[in-house]
Structure 1
Amino acid sequence: MVEVGMAIVLAAVGTAIVWKGSGWLEDAADRLAIGYGLPAAVQGAIVAAAGSSMPELVSVLVSTLVHGEFELGVGVIVGSAVFNLLVIPGIAVLIDEGLETTRDLVYKEALFYMLAVATLLLTFSLAVVYYPHDAGELGGTVTRPLALFPLGLYAFYVFTQYLDAADHDDESDERVDLPRTWIRFGLGLALIVVGVEALVRAAIDLGDAFGTPAFLWGMTVVAAGSSFPDAFVSVAAARSDRPTVTLANVLGSNVFDLLVAVPAGILVAGALTIEFAHVAPMMGFLVLSTVVVLAGMRTEMRLSRREAWLLLVLYAVFVAWLVLESVGMTSVIRP
Structure 2
Amino acid sequence: MLEILSLLALAVAGTAVVWKGSGWLESAANRIAAGYGVPTIVQGAVIAAVGSSMPELVSVLLATLVHGEFELGIGAIVGSAVFNLLVIPGVAVLASGDAGEGAPTTRDLVYKEALFYMLAVAALLLTFSLAVIYYPTGEGFDGTVTRTLALFPLALYGLYVFTQYLETSEYDAPDVEVNTLRAWAWFGAGLVVIVVGVEALVRAAIGLGDAFGTPAFLWGMIVVAAGSSVPDAFVSVSAARAGRPTVSLANVLGSNVFDLLVAVPAGVLVAGALTVSFASVVPMMAFLILATVVFFAISRTGMELTEREAWLLLAMYGLFVAWLLAESVGAVNVIPA
TM-score when normalising by structure 1: 0.98
Equivalenced residues, count: 333
The one-character-per-residue Cα deviations of 1:30-57 (angstroms, maximum 9, x if unpaired) are 2221222110111011111011101000
CA distance in 1: counterparts of 2:30 and 2:169, whole angstroms? 19
The one-character-per-residue Cα deviations of 1:228-258 (angstroms, maximum 9, x if unpaired) are 0111111110010011110110000000000
- Aligned residue for 1:45? 45
Shift of 1:171: 3.0
CA distance in 1: counterparts of 2:109 and 2:188, whole angstroms? 29
The one-character-per-residue Cα deviations of 1:147-197 (angstroms, maximum 9, x if unpaired) are 0000000001000000010010123412x2211121112111211111000
List aligned pairs for 1:160-179, cutoff 5 A: 160-174=163-177, 176-179=178-181
The residue type equivalent to 2:25 in the other structure is L
The one-character-per-residue Cα deviations of 1:71-118 (angstroms, maximum 9, x if unpaired) are 000000000000000000000000124111100000000000000000
CA distance in 2: counterparts of 1:177 and 1:131, whole angstroms? 48
How large is the Cα RMSD of the aligned pairs?
0.9
Structure 2: runs of 5+ lacking an equivalent: none
Determine what percentage of the aligned residue pairs are the same residue: 72
The residue type equivalent to 1:43 in the other structure is Q
Q: Does 1:184 align with 2:194?
A: no
Q: Given that residues 26 and 232 in structure 1 are in contact (C-alpha distance below 8 angstroms), is that contact kept between their aligned partners in structure 2? A: no
- Aligned residue for 1:256? 258
SS at 2:161's partner residue? helix
Pick from 129, 132, 150 the counterpart of residue 128 of structure 1: 132
- Aligned residue for 1:229? 231
CA distance in 2: counterparts of 1:140 and 1:117, whole angstroms? 18
CA distance in 2: counterparts of 1:261 and 1:320, whole angstroms? 26
Q: Given that residues 124 and 276 in structure 1 are in contact (C-alpha distance below 8 angstroms), is that contact kept between their aligned partners in structure 2? A: yes
Shift of 1:132: 0.7
Shift of 1:200: 0.2
Shift of 1:281: 0.5
CA distance in 2: counterparts of 1:319 and 1:128, whole angstroms? 28
SS at 1:20's partner residue? helix
Pick from 244, 247, 253 the counterpart of residue 245 of structure 1: 247
- Aligned residue for 1:119? 123
CA distance in 2: counterparts of 1:247 and 1:108, whole angstroms? 12
CA distance in 2: counterparts of 1:193 and 1:252, whole angstroms? 21
List aligned pairs for 1:1-335, cutoff 5 A: 1-96=1-96, 97-134=101-138, 136-174=139-177, 176-335=178-337
Q: Given that residues 325 and 334 in structure 1 are in contact (C-alpha distance below 8 angstroms), is that contact kept between their aligned partners in structure 2? A: no
Moved over 2 A (4+): none
CA distance in 1: counterparts of 2:191 and 2:91, whole angstroms? 24
SS at 2:176's partner residue? coil
TM-score when normalising by structure 2: 0.97
Structure 1: runs of 5+ lacking an equivalent: none
CA distance in 1: counterparts of 2:110 and 2:14, whole angstroms? 34
CA distance in 2: counterparts of 1:334 and 1:328, whole angstroms? 11
The one-character-per-residue Cα deviations of 1:250-298 (angstroms, maximum 9, x if unpaired) are 0000000000000000011111011111000000000000000011111
CA distance in 2: counterparts of 1:186 and 1:114, whole angstroms? 31
Shift of 1:139: 1.2
The residue type equivalent to 2:203 in the other structure is R
Q: Given that residues 277 and 333 in structure 1 are in contact (C-alpha distance below 8 angstroms), is that contact kept between their aligned partners in structure 2? A: yes
SS at 1:332's partner residue? coil
CA distance in 2: counterparts of 1:212 and 1:9, whole angstroms? 20
The residue type equivalent to 2:102 in the other structure is G
